[in-house]
Amino acid sequence: MNALARPMYIDAALDVPPDPRGPMTDVQAVRLRELAERAGVPVETDLTMRQAEHRIEELEAVAW
């Protein structure tokens, strides 16, 4: 029996990305802090993942 003929049991939770409305990740927080310090702006600590992603992109554009 080949792999296509066998029923597959997939955990749906493993296929769902994190909610971008959730709090920023630890990795994002570290990167955001580094970039904010370089740019000389206050560090924002209460951002969502999506907000942090956008803020990191903004700071990367001015920090280099």
By residue count, the chain amounts to 64
Q: How far apart are CA 29 and CA 37, in angstroms?
A: 12
**20-29 pLDDT, tens digit each:** 899 999 999 9
Residue 5 falls inside a structural domain: no
For residues 40-53, average pLDDT: 95
Q: Does residue 41 sit within a domain?
A: yes
Q: Is residue 7 one of the residues assigned to a domain?
A: no
pLDDT (tens digit, 9 = 90+) per residue, 36-45?
A: 999 999 999 9
The pLDDT value given to residue 18: 80
User: Is the residue at 51 inside a domain?
Assistant: yes
Range of the domain at 57: 22-63
Residue 1's pLDDT is 46
Give the least confident one: 3-7, 14-18, 19-23, 56-60. 3-7
Domain count, the chain: 1
